[in-house]
Chain A
């Protein structure tokens, strides 16, 4: 087991706001859970920089793109999570190493040979 597969890669959510991803990875979803509010509900306060509304944690493992085999953990608004569940594969659009600007479900019926083309081109809606 490599070091990269042990240490989880934390990703921070931002809305795309007309930006294009600088890289894209394909992730198999391990878990989606609602985030707790923390002490006195402070994590839910909009005054806290790290706050995301309706915070959820999406975890998974990279199966295609940079860092294959590495686990990822993304805090993001629940209402921005598409209709996906554990075991599904999704494309994550990234800015740099640590910012995720979209989660896009894998289109139905896509063959393995079409995966790389799709991964290199899917769009992040603003």
Chain B
């Protein structure tokens, strides 16, 4: 199934997938998200951003198997040198999550209602965002991939 691919930045997510970037909408819609923060070097971060800028200009075709959002995310981690090989097993968010947590990179996991706010910019500094987070506590293991991992959960 080949469909047109699409890359959304923060502004586009606010119009098309607001429940993933605005915490109030996440709560209202019952959208539980897992965010994995990966500590990387400045060089890796710049290459990661470069990958997505290039992909935004010419998004590849979407295929549910082997050409989905996990595939592209994996490609971006490999391009930037954060990971060295493709996702073990099927290209799924959970498998990529496991791979990242098991990698050398330091990671922090958040599961619950999540939003992102743009921090006030100072001078010519790059746009920065901070996470707003409300843990989901209805059941202990809802949507918590890799809950037995060594990754810290804040």
| Chains A and B bind each other | yes
A residues engaging B (CB < 8 A)? 14-17, 19, 42, 46-49, 53-54, 77, 79, 101
**Cβ of A14 and Cβ of B15 under 8 Å apart?**
yes
> DSSP majority for the B interface?
helix
**A15-B14, A47-B69 provided; 9 other pairs, C-beta below 8 A?**
A15-B16, A15-B18, A47-B64, A48-B3, A49-B4, A53-B19, A54-B29, A77-B29, A101-B15
Point out the residues of chain B lying under 8 angstroms from A101, CB to CB: 15
Complex-state Cα separation, A46 to B14, whole angstroms: 14
**Cβ of B3 and Cβ of A17 under 8 Å apart?**
no
B72 nearest CB across to chain A (Å): 10
**Cβ of B29 and Cβ of A17 under 8 Å apart?**
no
Q: With A49-B4, A53-B31 as given contacts, are A17 and B62 in contact (CB-CB < 8 Å)? A: no
Cβ < 8 Å to A, chain B residues 10-51: 11, 14-20, 25, 28-29, 31
Q: Which 8 A-B pairs have the closest CB atoms?
A: A17-B14, A15-B18, A14-B15, A17-B15, A79-B29, A15-B15, A53-B29, A47-B69
B residues engaging A (CB < 8 A)? 3-4, 6, 11, 14-20, 25, 28-29, 31, 62, 64, 68-69
A110 nearest CB across to chain B (Å): 27
Q: List 5 A-B contacts (CB under 8 A).
A: A15-B16, A17-B15, A49-B6, A53-B19, A79-B29
**Cβ of A17 and Cβ of B68 under 8 Å apart?**
no
Chain B residue at smallest Cβ distance from A19 = B15
**Partner pick for A47 among B15, B19, B31, B68, CB 8 A cutoff:** B68
